[in-house]
C-alpha cells in the first residue's frame, strides 16, 4: 500500500534573519510537509518536507524540536559499499535561493518517543537559539 496523501496546515512562522531581500514572502518556507504516523508498536515517526531559503544569506539549521516528541533528529540515508546507512545531520546548510528536500531514502526527520497521542505535529527549526521556521502537519498513515 502506497501513501501519498499530503496535507498542508501551516507553512511558515519565523523570526526574521535580518537580511533584506527582494523575494515577496517569508524568508524561509516549508512545503510538501508529510509526517508519517508511527507503525504499531514503534516509538518513532518520520517527517518529510521541502525547505526553501529566500533570506538573502545562507542559513544553518542546527536543531529541530517538537513539543509532541521527546527528540527530533535530522538524518540522511547514504549507501556505502552497497549497504544503506543512516547518518545524523548535525548542521544543515541551505544557500540563499536554495531548497533542501527531505524525502524517503534521503534526508528525513526522525521523531522519537511521542509525548501523548497528538493528531497534529509541530516542528520548530532553529539556527542555534533563533527560531527560523515553525511548521504544523497532520499524520499520514504509518510507513509500510
Q: What is the pLDDT of residue 22?
A: 54
Confidence tier at 88 by pLDDT (50, 70, 90):
very high
Torsion of CA 51, 15, 109, 112, to 10 degrees: -160
> For domain 28-133, which CATH number applies: 2.170.190.11, 1.10.3470.10, 2.170.150.20, 2.60.40.1890?
2.60.40.1890
Determine the Cα–Cα distance for residues 106 and 28; give it in Å rounded to an integer: 21
Q: How many CB atoms lie within 10 A of CB 134?
A: 19
* Mean pLDDT for all residues in the chain: 82
CB 33, CB 49: distance < 8 Å: yes
Taking only the tens place, the pLDDT of each residue in 18-29 is 334 456 778 999
pTM of the predicted model as reported, rounded to 2 decimal places: 0.79
Q: Does residue 42 carry a pLDDT above 80? A: yes
Taking only the tens place, the pLDDT of each residue in 43-82 is 899 999 999 999 999 999 999 999 999 999 999 999 889 9
Determine the Cα–Cα distance for residues 87 and 100; give it in Å rounded to an integer: 16
Amino acid at each position: 500500500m502506497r501513501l501519498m496523501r499530503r496535507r498542508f496546515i501551516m507553512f511558515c512562522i519565523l523570526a526574521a534573519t535580518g537580511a533584506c531581500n527582494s523575494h515577496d514572502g517569508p524568508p524561509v518556507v516549508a512545503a510538501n510537509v508529510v509526517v508519517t504516523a508511527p507503525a504499531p508498536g514503534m516509538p518513532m515517526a518520520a517527517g518529510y518536507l521541502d525547505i526553501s531559503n529566500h533570506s538573502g544569506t545562507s542559513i544553518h539549521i542546527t536543531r529541530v524540536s517538537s513539543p509532541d516528541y521527546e527528540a527530533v533528529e535530522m538524518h540522511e540515508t547514504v549507501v556505502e559499499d552497497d549497504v544503506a546507512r543512516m547518518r545524523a545531520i548535525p548542521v544543515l546548510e541551505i544557500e540563499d535561493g536554495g531548497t533542501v528536500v527531505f524525502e524517503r531514502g534521503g534526508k528525513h526527520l526522525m521523531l522519537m518517543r511521542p509525548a501523548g497521542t497528538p493528531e497534529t505535529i509541530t516542528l520548530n527549526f532553529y539556527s542555534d537559539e533563533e527560531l527560523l521556521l515553525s511548521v504544523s502537519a497532520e499524520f499520514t498513515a504509518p510507513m509500510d
